[in-house]
Structure 1
Amino acid sequence: MGLYNLTRSSTRGLISLCRPTVTGLEHVPSSGPFIVAANHLSFLDSVLIQALMPRKVGFFAKAEYFTTPGLKGAAMRSFFESVGSIPVERGQQAASVAALKSLLDVLESGGGIGIYPEGTRSRDGLLYRGRTGVGWLALTSGAPVVPVGLIGTEKLQPAGKKWVKPRPFTMAVGRPLYFSKTGPQHALPERRRVTDQVMDAIAELSGQERSAAYNQNKPDGA
């Protein structure tokens, strides 16, 4: 068993203690590139999605997770590398062109990537307006967008708490959204339209009340 499969199997075992409800995994394309676009409620969201999806999904992770010295650093680096996480420097916005191009590289190689259009965790449970990085990726690559609605993950590790408490949560995977591949030179209104369509799908899956504003919390980088 490879390190990725071993890591995912072990993580799934721990997640099972939370008695999760997972629906719609059949909507994930069996081959080719795909973009997972999810709402964001908890630091653990990326780990949960990576463990429960039938295919590897690469999310951004803070660069220090890959460079911390000592045994703890080695353990973190091994975990994040095994699940396909992509390092991003602290302070580098996940919506920046440089960061998005690293995700585009994964898509162009036929892999799957994950992105949170809100940019950072929602601390009040609202679903905020999506930033247009997901639209840029979808139009530039032509990869389908798989919307995901997470419900209750904020109860697993509330903001500011170090310990994880097993709590039931739901991960609902929606039907993929397909958009024409236009390359990076598409019009900004088209990118906005695609992003709004993705956010509509996430809202339907998560059932969250929506905000017309952008989430102004400092981006997590993970």
Structure 2
Amino acid sequence: MQGRSKYLPNAPSRSRMCARATNFAMQPNNPIANKNPSRLSCPCSKKRLNMDIHSIRGPLSLKSIWKAPLHQSPSGPLRFLIRSTLSLAGRKLVSCQGVEHIQPDHDPFILVLNHSQKLEAIYIPALLYYLRGGRVVHFLADWNFCLVPGVWFFYHYGQVITVSRKPAKPKFLNVFKPLFTSRQSSVSQARKTLEAGKSIGIFPEGTTNRHPTKLLKGYTGAAQLSLKTGIPVVTAGLTFPSKEGYKKIPEGVPFSVEFSAPIQPPRLPHDIGLKDIHQHHASIMQRLASLSQKTWTASEPRRP
């Protein structure tokens, strides 16, 4: 195997991982695999690449963003939208670890993330699309953002599941609600998506939480879906290397992401009760707290 892939961003050179990296790169579902396998190279080449089988070291280069094949996506407009978004957001990425846990061959899973910046709702789905070679993670997101000019295109092409719980402000904008929401509840849509073998993404805090050291209590929707479908949860902790000294995490600061190994839901010998849901929710939030370098307790408030 000679030459090096022009699609891979700068992975550390590790001779002992050469065989493993090569095998991983040759997998058909691997989003970093080139359509021409003979052009792929192992991480122990003399010129260092910026992605290995487990992690990315940012920032993402424009070349890697616009040349990545994204072969699992049939949608040309979505590919263009994602590349354009990452052209702006990719320079904010410091690092990304645990990439192997969110590959398409792990579908379906429920991705759970902390939420500290508003633009994460756009940047993170775009990053996942890139990492997964064009395979979408269907996020649950508030319908109100569809009222912001341009955001509807992200929702539409990104196949977002809209959550219609919150009314619009000012109230007269609620007249547009039927245009952007489904008659089915977001939970029902999410469950059908999972049962179809597709992955979903949830921000369990339900709002932007800029506190640098504490997670909010969060909502139990991810835990309920996991228990009722038997589908595992993957947590994604977003951290901010420059947060020291901040009383609140500001918008647009560089970030890192770490994905956990799947958390399997317990097999219960009885019908699922509230206690089971809260216990599973606690285990998810504690893992998320660890990855996001924050703390979490069940007594935390739901709102910042």
Q: Same fold (TM over 0.5)?
A: yes
Give the distance between the partners of 2:286 and 2:296, measured in 1 at CA.
Answer: 10
How many percent of aligned residue pairs carry the same amino acid? Answer: 28
- Quote how far apart the aligned CAs of 1:108 are: 1.5
Instruction: Give the secondary structure class of the aligned counterpart of 1:150.
Output: strand
Query: Which has the larger Rg?
Result: 2
> Which residue does 1:189 correspond to in 2?
275
Contact 1:149 1:206 in 2 (8 A): yes
- Quote how far apart the aligned CAs of 1:113 are: 1.0
> Which residue does 1:137 correspond to in 2?
225
Residue 52 of structure 2 is aligned to residue 52 of structure 1: no
- Quote how far apart the aligned CAs of 1:138 are: 0.2
Give the distance between the partners of 1:212 and 1:65, measured in 2 at CA.
Answer: 29
Instruction: Give the secondary structure class of the aligned counterpart of 1:10.
Output: helix
Distance 1:90 1:186, change over 3 A: closer
Moved more, 80-89 or 190-199: 80-89
Contact 1:35 1:112 in 2 (8 A): yes
> Which residue does 1:120 correspond to in 2?
207
Give the distance between the partners of 2:195 and 2:211, measured in 1 at CA.
Answer: 36
Distance 1:99 1:117, change over 3 A: same
**AA of the residue aligned to 1:43:** K
Give the distance between the partners of 1:153 and 1:86, measured in 2 at CA.
Answer: 31
Give the distance between the partners of 1:25 and 1:198, measured in 2 at CA.
Answer: 19
Contact 1:60 1:86 in 2 (8 A): yes
> Which residue does 2:255 correspond to in 1?
169
- Quote how far apart the aligned CAs of 1:64 are: 4.3
Distance 1:63 1:132, change over 3 A: closer
> Which residue does 2:36 correspond to in 1?
none
- Quote how far apart the aligned CAs of 1:65 are: 4.2
> Which residue does 1:149 correspond to in 2?
237
Instruction: Give the secondary structure class of the aligned counterpart of 2:197.
Output: coil
Give the distance between the partners of 1:128 and 1:57, measured in 2 at CA.
Answer: 23
Contact 2:205 2:302 in 1 (8 A): no
Aligned residues: 202
Distance 1:29 1:137, change over 3 A: farther
Instruction: Give the secondary structure class of the aligned counterpart of 1:170.
Output: strand
More relative contact order in 1 or in 2 (CA 8 Å, sep 6+)?
1
Moved more, 188-197 or 25-34: 25-34
Give the distance between the partners of 1:215 and 1:14, measured in 2 at CA.
Answer: 33
Contact 1:8 1:83 in 2 (8 A): no
RMSD: 3.0
Greater than 6 Å deviation, 4+ residue runs: none
Give the distance between the partners of 1:153 and 1:99, measured in 2 at CA.
Answer: 34
Moved more, 196-205 or 28-37: 28-37
* 82, 86, 110: which one aligns with 1:35: 110
* 6, 9, 28: which one aligns with 2:83: 9
Contact 1:42 1:154 in 2 (8 A): no
- Quote how far apart the aligned CAs of 1:29 are: 4.4
Instruction: Give the secondary structure class of the aligned counterpart of 1:59.
Output: strand
> Which residue does 1:82 correspond to in 2?
157
Unaligned stretches of 5+ residues in structure 1: none
Instruction: Give the secondary structure class of the aligned counterpart of 1:51.
Output: helix
